[in-house]
Amino acid sequence: MTTIAAGTSLDFTLVQQLTVIALCALTAYISHMALAVFNDGVRPFMLDFIQGRSTRSATTAVSFGLSAGFIFGLGAPMALSTGVLNPWLVFLPTDILGILAPKRWLAPILGGAWGAVIVFGLNGANNVAHDLPVDFLTAMQQMSTPILFLFALFPVLAITKQFGRMWGGISGALELALVVATMKLWPNMFAGALAMAVGVLMLIGLAIAKDLRQRKADRAEGITEIVLDDDPMASLFSSSAARLRRYLPLFMVLGAGVCVLAQMHIFGGGEATSFLIAKGQYAEAAQVDFYRVFGFIPLIATTALASGAYGIAGFTLVYPIGYLMPNPFVAAIVGALVFAAEILALSSIGKVLGKLPTVRDSSEHLRSAIGDTLQLAILFGSLMAANAMGGGLGILIVGGLYLLNDAMGRPVVRMAAAPAAVIVGGIVLNLLYWLDLFTPIKG
């Protein structure tokens, strides 16, 4: 079983506490100004808000509705079980608080207050949970093995969905061979790292080759691109990019802050990354988050150009870069430069993506595959946690809550439902213990 060597302590140093509070204040301020939000689902709604067709309260309701399940069902449980902060816990609440704030000066105060809740409140909750007769937080560390290993399969799923069974079978066999070879030859290396690298490169290579063949065929048939000077989408993209460039210094400060947070190794950009950071495997964590970037660049670029609101973490390149930086000062400089390059390149990226439809589709398949693998891994890991803390009764409660959530129309999003069920199940098992109706499993 994969163990978390770093433990699950959420006891931050003063510098780390101030960094989290300041970054939460900044992200809430930026969200209030409708310059950036973290939730990709909220970003398309920002154009109506920016142009005055939607009220602040209505936009806040949308943000809360799309984010609450991830905050309480995924962000908080992952942070408590790994001892590492994550973007769902840090940035989704500041999306909501920033949009909610009626005055500009109030937004950073609310954001900073949330940051204080994170750095001062989580450790207390963590200590209380570990002192309970049924320690469900330690049990949740069982989630690490299925998340880390099943996540490695996302390139195989993406290739299969986009390029068919043959290429899917080839990539699957290749990834399996690479995982086995890595475990045998490099036991201290994350087993899925090399396999994911090869899988993502295969997907990109297949997509680019298909686009190049299509462009060659189009030229042979005399088909040329028609560019309309009065294209309304082109005009919208141009004005959105110009709006974001006007606030370039503010975005550079944001990039510096996110990169510094990642450099401190108290923050992981994803589910698998959180467990790798907790184990001290920073290079492997950087590799995992780097591959995720390919699935999100087209989405973030196009929604930013269409809405005029960027991503709080940009293209998320600052995550893997931050993990590898030697100190916070270098991380701040590099993070600022990365965000500057991203903002300045937005228009060009949009034009390139328009000419590579297969590559653009690959990002959709990558995101879908990441969701599918993590959904299965989190569910399986949650049932393993349920078994560790309560045996068959634990599985009954956690699995039952998950199924009940589905039957009720998923008030909690599916990916967050299982970890949330583990926490609720842990509380129920403790209540049963205090009623002398359940004996905790030892060991």
pLDDT of residue 238: 80
**Residue with the two structure tokens 């299969």:** 160
Indicate the burial class of 286 (C-beta count within 10 angstroms; 0-12, 13-18, 19 or more).
buried
- Integer angstrom CA distances of residue 335 from 192, 229, 259, 324: 27, 36, 5, 12
Query: Among 292, 268, 86, 276, which residue's Cα sits nearest to residue 190?
Result: 276
Helix (H, G, I), strand (E, B) or coil at 198: helix
Q: What per-residue confidence (pLDDT) applies to 436?
A: 92
Q: Say if residue 1's pLDDT is above 60.
A: no
10 is written with which tokens?
């959420």
Angle subtended by helix axes 87-100 and 14-32, to nearest 10: 40
Three-state secondary structure call for residue 36 = strand
Residue ranges of alpha helices (H) inside 105-231 are 106-116, 122-130, 136-139, 144-151, 154-163, 165-185, 193-220
**44-48, 74-78, 231-235: segment of lowest average pLDDT:** 231-235
Q: What is the DSSP letter of 85?
A: B
Q: Which residue reads 């994803």 in tokens?
A: 270
**Cβ-contact 161, 152 below 8 angstroms:** no
- With 0-12 / 13-18 / 19 or more C-beta atoms within 10 angstroms meaning exposed / middle / buried, residue 5 is exposed
**How many angstroms separate the Cα of 434 from the Cα of each of 168, 387, 428?**
51, 19, 10
Sign of CA dihedral 137, 140, 142, 146: negative
- Domains of the chain by residue range: 14-150+226-434
Query: Bigger pLDDT: 9 or 126?
Result: 126
What are residue 311's DSSP bridge partners? 37
How buried is residue 413: exposed, middle or buried, by Cβ count under 10 Å (0-12/13-18/19+)?
middle
Facing residues of 37 across strands? 311
In the predicted structure, residue 206 carries a pLDDT above the cut 90: yes
Confidence of residue 2 (pLDDT cuts 50, 70, 90): very low
Residue 340 has pLDDT above 70, yes or no: yes
Per-residue pLDDT at 38: 94
Asked if 301 and 342 count as a contact pair (C-beta separation under 8 A), the reply is no
DSSP 3-state of 311: strand
Contact 23, 257 (CB under 8 A): yes
Read off the pLDDT band of 229 (50, 70, 90). very low
Query: Rounded distance, CA 117 to CA 327, Å?
Result: 26
Tens-place pLDDT, residues 237-270: 788 888 999 999 999 999 999 999 999 999 999 8
Question: How does the average pLDDT of the chain come out, rounded?
Answer: 89
**Count of other CB atoms within 10 angstroms of residue 245:** 14
Q: What distance in Å separates the CA atoms of residue 225 and residue 218, rounded to the nearest whole number?
A: 10
**Residue-wise pLDDT tens digits, 365-392:** 988 999 899 999 999 999 999 999 999 9
- Rounded Cα distance between 147 and 384, Å, is 12
Residues in CB range of 226: below 8 A, 6 or more apart: none
Per-residue pLDDT reduced to its tens digit, 286-300: 999 998 888 888 888
Residues whose CB falls within 8 Å of the CB of residue 299, separated by 6 or more in sequence, listed in order? 40, 363, 364, 367
Q: What is the pLDDT of residue 66?
A: 87
Each residue's pLDDT tens digit, 329-339: 999 999 999 99
